[in-house]
Amino acid sequence: MNVCKRLLVGCLLLGSLFAQGQRDPGKVDPDASAPAASAPSAAAQAALQQALQLAKACKGKRGDARTRALSAAARAFDEVASAFAGEPAVVARASWSAAELWRRHGSLVEAERRYLNAAQRDAERYAQRALLGAADMQRRTERSELAAETYGECIAVAPRSRRAHRARLWIGRMLLQDGAVDAAVERLQEAFREAPSPGASIEAADHLAKAWLAKGDLESAGYCIEHAADTVAAAEAAAEADGGDPAVADRLRRAYEAMTSRRALQRERDRVNGALDDAIRLDRHQRTRDDG
C-alpha cells in the first residue's frame, strides 16, 4: 500500500473512534404524515388490549397452531387500524404490532405494508424503526434496490442512531453480495466512520474488512481488524484506570473474537504465502535441474 492510501485508511480508523428508482404507493414522507393523537380513545384502548391478548396467546405454540395464532392476532390488529382510522396514533400502533406478527408469520410483504403504514401515520414514534423494518422485508424478498432506498430513508431520520448504523451496514452488504465491491467499500467506510458506539465500530470494521478482502486488498483489511483490536484494548485500559465495570470491555472482546473477517484474512494470507512458497520451491527445482 502506498503512503497516501495508508494515510487515508488510517484517517478512517481514527475518525471511527470519535464518533437510492421509482417508489411504490407506500412511500413514507415523515414531514407530510398526519399528527398523531395524544392518547387513544377508550374504545380504541379496549380494542388494542383485545388484540394484544391474541398476540400473547401465540407464545409457546408450535407448527400449524403457531401459524394460525399469529395470523389471527395480526388480523385483529389490522381490524383495529381499520376501525379507528381517524386516530393516527392508534393506526400506527396497531400497524406496527400487525407488522411484527406478520413478520413472525412469514408473510413478509404483508409485514412491509404495515411497517410503512405505521411510519406514515405516526412518524414521530415509528418512522425510523418502521422504515428499517420495511427495508428488511424488502431485502428478504430480494428487492434490493427498493430496500436500499428505504434504508436510505431510515438513515435520514436520525443519522447517528443504531438503526441508521444497521441500515448503512445492510446497504453495504447488499452491494457486496451483488458484486459491486467498490460501491460496497464506499458505503461500509461510511458506516465505519459514523458508527455510534465502539461495538458498532467493531461490527462495521468486520464488514469493511471483508469488502477489502473481496477487493484483494489484504493490507486495508488488516488495518480494519487492527482498529477493532485497538478498540478492545482501549476499553480494557479505561476499565482498569477508572475502576469501571469490565463488562463493557468483555462485550467488545467477544465481538472482536467473533469477527469472521479475522479468519478470512488469515486464510487469504495463507493462500498467498502458500502460492509464494510454491513459486520459491519451483524456482529452486528449476535451478537445480538447470545446474545438473
Average of per-residue pLDDT across 271-286: 65
- pLDDT for residue 246: 87
Residue of higher predicted confidence among 24 and 195: 195
167 residue type, one letter: A
- Which pLDDT tens digit goes with each residue over 79-94? 999 999 999 999 999 9
CB count within 10 Å of CB 219 equals 11
- Which pLDDT tens digit goes with each residue over 97-124? 999 999 999 999 999 999 999 999 999 9
- pLDDT for residue 272: 87
Query: Using 50, 70 and 90 to split pLDDT, how confident is the model at 39?
Result: confident
Q: Quote the percentage of the chain above a pLDDT of 90.
A: 76
Residue of higher predicted confidence among 288 and 135: 135
Is the pLDDT confidence value at 6 over 90? no
- pLDDT for residue 245: 77
CB count within 10 Å of CB 148 equals 21
DSSP 169-185: HHHHHHHHHTT-HHHHH
Residue of higher predicted confidence among 278 and 274: 274
Give the span between the Cα atoms of 216 and 1, in whole angstroms: 12
Q: Quote the percentage of the chain above a pLDDT of 70.
A: 80
Is the pLDDT confidence value at 22 over 90? no
- pLDDT for residue 32: 45
- pLDDT for residue 266: 93
- pLDDT for residue 273: 86
Mean confidence (pLDDT) of the chain: 87
165 residue type, one letter: H
Query: Using 50, 70 and 90 to split pLDDT, how confident is the model at 277?
Result: low
- Which pLDDT tens digit goes with each residue over 156-168? 999 999 999 999 9
Burial class (CB in 10 A: 0-12, 13-18, 19+), 255: buried
Which phi-psi region, left, alpha or beta, contains residue 259 (left: φ > 0; alpha: ψ -120 to 50)? beta
- Which pLDDT tens digit goes with each residue over 247-261? 999 999 999 999 999
Is the pLDDT confidence value at 225 over 70? yes
- Which pLDDT tens digit goes with each residue over 176-191? 999 999 999 999 999 9
Average of per-residue pLDDT across 56-67: 96
